[in-house]
Amino acid sequence: MQRKWPTRIAPALLAALVQSSMLACAWGQESARPGEPSRVDEVGPIVTLQPIRPDERMPYAIEPRAEPTLSNQRITALLRERIKYVFVIFNENHSFDNEFGTFPGVDGLYADWRGSRAAAATPGFFQSYQSVTGETITVTPFLIDPAGNSNVVDSVDHSHTGLATKLHVDPKTGQAQMDQFAADEYHRFASPGGSANQAMGTQYARLVMSHVDCDTLPFLWSWANHFTIFDGIFATEDTPSTPNAIAMIAGQSGATQWVKHPSPDPAQPLATGFTGPLFGTINGVNYEGQTGTTQGPPIVNDPQPFYGSEFDRTVSSGRVQREPSSPSESYGPKNIASNLTFASVPLTLLGRTVTEITRQNLDPGFDLPDIQKDIPYIQKLKNKPVPWRWYQEGYDHESSDPSASATHASYVSHHEGPQYFGYLANTPPLRSNLRGMSDFFNDMTNHALPEGGVFYIRGGYHNQMHLVPVVEPGTPAAKAKAIAAAKSGDDDHPAYADRQISEAMAARVINAIASNPRIWAQSAIIITYDESDGFFDHVPPRILAYGPDGLPLSRGLRVPLILISPYARSHAVSHVEGDHNAVIETINAIFGLPALASLPDEAQALKDGNSEYFNHFAPAGFKQQHLGPDDIESPISESLLSGFSPSRLLGRLAPLPASLATIPPEVVSSLPHYAGMGCRAIGITPVRPANQPFDYPPPPGFNSLPSTYPAAN
């Protein structure tokens, strides 16, 4: 039963918006799917207010129960009036607990919206493994701060198989145990033997349990504090980056394509790739005359896009330019993805122009086979087309390039979601939607952004601000040199990025939006991540699907998500459950798009996936009801609508000012941010363990850079 609240807020109630230290609640609908309770049903309220100290004044915070109760249909109608621009800042590779595990009011490492939680009640808090010498080693979560080089860490195991190991799903219950993070990290290095390998394994078993707070990420924590943070959003796929980059625009990584085109050999269920001739030279290697086989769907690793690879026979001409390849990326006959042919948001955004645009595809027999029913369905809806762009560092010529030619030096090609789809990458009118990072800022400066639309922004291997990672005082010269050479990226990926350089990129993007009153007034900005990198998170994901390898395919670990908008709730936490489909559902709602899961080709594949053949890849009794997009609102796949304030959408409260999102430029470009005292600067006290004034410190001898600087292992 849904609680009802007044549709008008009394002035006296507005005058007492927040009671000191109270967590206010908004209650949601009961689960509509038998046997599939939502996470909200399990933990309680949909939205809570972040804890507020008696000495704090939060003029924009409203108790959720004081908000008018509106249906999703009414909220959607209001959003369509108010929001014309959706910006998605799409970062890389951090779990929710790794970056926000001690953020006040969220389901974190030591507490949730109800208050403190004992370590023993936190899944996976104690991680034990057997060392090669027979000792039992236990690792628990701990804080690293700027004095410990928390801005630059190495990447942990986020392979498809490694993540499955870390989740440790009990086949009898289907529940992830969340208890093999340290063991996976240790044994992948230490098992071969040798002191160096054992030392490496020990450090990685520690690193995977580390987390940071607002001293390291003051901008992200400030945005989460002023607007709405979501603590129930997971990676769509239990995989590394590429599948989740694809899922951001498609809600899946190819499950429907797998259902439509399973392996012809039942004895080799993974043989779903395309075999064909190779062409041309990539990164100095001539592949002429060779043959290769692509990685077939569903994509579960980090292969390169088909277009732009050695399979691609496109010749640059006046009409079409060949998709770029990255000089820093790994290509080869076994590391290329199949051409993806299932529906995506860029397809539904075409609206009534979908037939006209897709007719211009250069190889329709190869690029369009699995959307043959979707195209006329979208056409028949007669929706107005919605502009979209995918801006990514290094895709084309950047301001940081040393010459007039694009070097693609900062381009991470396996993060470029649209490039994996032939009907996007091989259709000339759609190619212009793929752009570099400099193009975003030029478009904002020159007022060249379309009048509304959906805009994705991603960083890369380097940063255009020419910022250099800061290292702690007294760092050995060799270590400082290694950090400066390896960690200047701006997409937050631990392997090559600096956390503060990455949030500086996000601040630069948000400042550009907030400084334009017309665009800010009509904007929703979403900051989120593709996947967790394999860092510890304590919340077990709901397992929705299994792939042809018999491993969990969906979902992956929790990732951060922040909603910034003039119409957002302020100082709020939403606990709805979802994944990248939540972003798609929100875009669908704002722009009136059909759900991908409702399109004829996808709907048929979703139905066909729940069959004896596909169910046998899962544990006994499991039904494959989610082999495809999941962007139809349900208790287990919810949109981000709960992050918007009904009072602001109705005009009963003023929109939130752009100043709440703005970071002064001199702060953005100064490292470390706020001299490493970000929590004090933004006025947030992280949650600490119960009865303990400080967070757990790093283990003695901890090295956050076991691969970059192994001398400290």
CB neighbours (10 Å) of residue 661?
A: 24
The residue among 99, 82, 60, 21 whose CA lies nearest residue 228 is: 60
Tokens 């939205």, located at residue:
47
d(CA 488, CA 502): 9
pTM here? 0.93
CB 577 within 8 A of CB 232: yes
> What is the pLDDT, as a whole number, of residue 17?
33
Q: Which residues of the chain have pLDDT under 70?
A: 1-44, 53-57, 316-319
pLDDT tens sequence across 171-214: 889 999 999 999 999 999 998 889 999 999 999 999 999 999 99
DSSP 8-state assignment for residue 337: B
> What is the pLDDT, as a whole number, of residue 475?
81
Residue ranges per structural domain of the chain: 75-111+213-237+269-339+386-416+428-682
Dump the DSSP string for 134-193: S-EEEE--EE--GGGTTT-------SHHHHHHHH-B-TTT--B----HHHHHHHHHHTT-
> What is the pLDDT, as a whole number, of residue 11?
32
> What is the pLDDT, as a whole number, of residue 698?
95
Give the three-class secondary structure for 684: coil
> What is the pLDDT, as a whole number, of residue 554?
96
The kind and range of the H/E element at 79 are helix 72-82
d(CA 78, CA 648): 10
176 half-sphere exposure, CB direction, 13 A CA radius:
29
> What is the pLDDT, as a whole number, of residue 278?
94
> What is the pLDDT, as a whole number, of residue 477?
85
Report which residue type is found at 258: W
> What is the pLDDT, as a whole number, of residue 403?
85
For residues 56-91, b (16+ Cβ closer than 10 Å) or e, as one string? eebebbbbbbbbbebeeeebbebbeebbbbbbbbbb
- Report the chain's terminal Cα–Cα distance, integer Å: 56
CB neighbours (10 Å) of residue 357?
A: 18
